[in-house]
Amino acid sequence: MRIDIISVVPKLMESFFAHSILKRGQEAGHVQVVLHDLRDYSIQKQKQVDDYAFGGGAGMVLGIETIARCIRQLQSERSYDEIIYMTPDGERFDQKIANQLSLKGNLLMLCGHYKGIDERVREHFITREISIGDYVLSGGELAAAVCADAIIRLLPGVLNDETSALTDSFQDNLLAPPVYTRPAEFEGMRVPDILLSGHEANIIEWRFEQSIARTKARRPDLLDNYQ
Ligand code: 6GU
């Protein structure tokens, strides 16, 4: 898979993609993440990418000329399965969308900034609009990083233990069970005996019960969709 991300502050995301699982996923060739600075596509001398909103108010708006130039350049190099605009008024991102997008070959994400982007970009270039929740961030960069992370960890081979993404919270609409590591006892706080018992079938059953109980207590809404 390849993910291209367009932003006016690509540096915000550099370190995020250069560490841990996302770094290893790229090094192992499972995914290529390429950050693009929108300013590099500006036709203005001052590398300006935004302008005042027609009609006044609303702050600065990212203009269509620079964005069109950038997207068309990238499209001339490969075709994209989705061109996603990261925006708080988009469709709310969840595990199901992460699963869907993880099956694609090439994704292009456009991060908004300032007061948004010219509506004509959304109408004519964007195929999907995604939000990561009901709150407003200063730009789409963190949201793009969140979505890319959720997608990349699903790609075969990215996680060491192939089954590990399957047992994530939300993957089957249940929250994950509690986990423990050594020591088995710390200042009188003990790990549940069953996890030390070596009875694999009982442990699987215990974890499932814990998942159900935890989901009931914390996110009963998920149980409606439990599969
Ligand atoms: Cl995708 N962008 C911004 N700016 N704020 C958000 C968001 C995206 N998702 C939630 N809040």
Taking only the tens place, the pLDDT of each residue in 57-73 is 979 999 999 999 999 99
CB-based contacts of 176, cutoff 8 Å, min separation 6: 167, 168, 169, 211, 214
pLDDT of residue 226: 75
**What mean pLDDT is reported for the chain?**
95
In the reported structure, the alpha carbon of residue 89 is separated from the centroid of ligand 1 by a whole-number distance in angstroms of: 8
* Percentage, residues of the chain above pLDDT 70: 99
Q: How far apart are CA 32 and CA 46, in angstroms?
A: 31
Pairwise CA distance, residues 206 & 214, whole Å? 12
Ligand 1 atom at minimum distance from 143 CA:
1
Q: What integer pLDDT is reported at residue 163 of this predicted model?
A: 66
More confident call, 161 vs 136: 136
Q: Are 80 and 124 in contact (CB under 8 A)?
A: no
Please compute the mean of the pLDDT values over residues 172-201 and round it to a whole number: 97
- Report which of 92, 74, 91 is spatially closest to residue 6, judged by C-alpha positions: 74
CATH number of the domain at 169-225, please? Answer: 1.10.1270.20
pTM over 0.85: yes
Ligand 1 site, CB within 6 A:
86-88, 112, 131-133, 135-137, 139-140, 143
Query: For the residues 110-135, what does the mean pLDDT come to?
Result: 95
pLDDT computed for residue 227 by the predictor: 65
What's the average model confidence in pLDDT over 189-218? 98
pLDDT score for 165: 80
In the reported structure, the alpha carbon of residue 133 is separated from the centroid of ligand 1 by a whole-number distance in angstroms of 7
User: How much is the average pLDDT of 115-128?
Assistant: 96
Residue found under tokens 């869907």: 100
Å from CA of 227 to ligand 1 middle? 29
DSSP letter, residue 39: G
Strands 106-111 and 82-92, sheet pairing: parallel
Q: Has residue 162 got a pLDDT over 80?
A: no
Q: Residue 153 is which amino acid?
A: R
Gap between the Cα atoms of 12 and 159, Å rounded: 24
The reported pLDDT for the residue numbered 27 is 97
Overall average pLDDT of the 177-193 stretch:
98
93 within 8 A of 131, measured Cβ to Cβ: yes
Is pLDDT above 90 for 118? yes
Whether domain 2-152 has CATH 3.40.1280.10: the reply is yes
CB 125 within 8 A of CB 68: yes
pLDDT of residue 147: 98
- Whats the size of the chain, residue-wise? 227
- At 223, the pLDDT band (50, 70, 90 cuts) reads very high
| Rounded CA separation 1/109 (Å) | 13
Chain centroid to Cα 130, Å, comes to: 10
Q: How far is the CA of 129 from the centre of ligand 1 (A)?
A: 10
190: β partners = 185
Delimit the domains of the chain by residue range: 2-152, 169-225
60-62 and 2-7 strand pairing:
unpaired
Q: Are 177 and 163 in contact (CB under 8 A)?
A: no
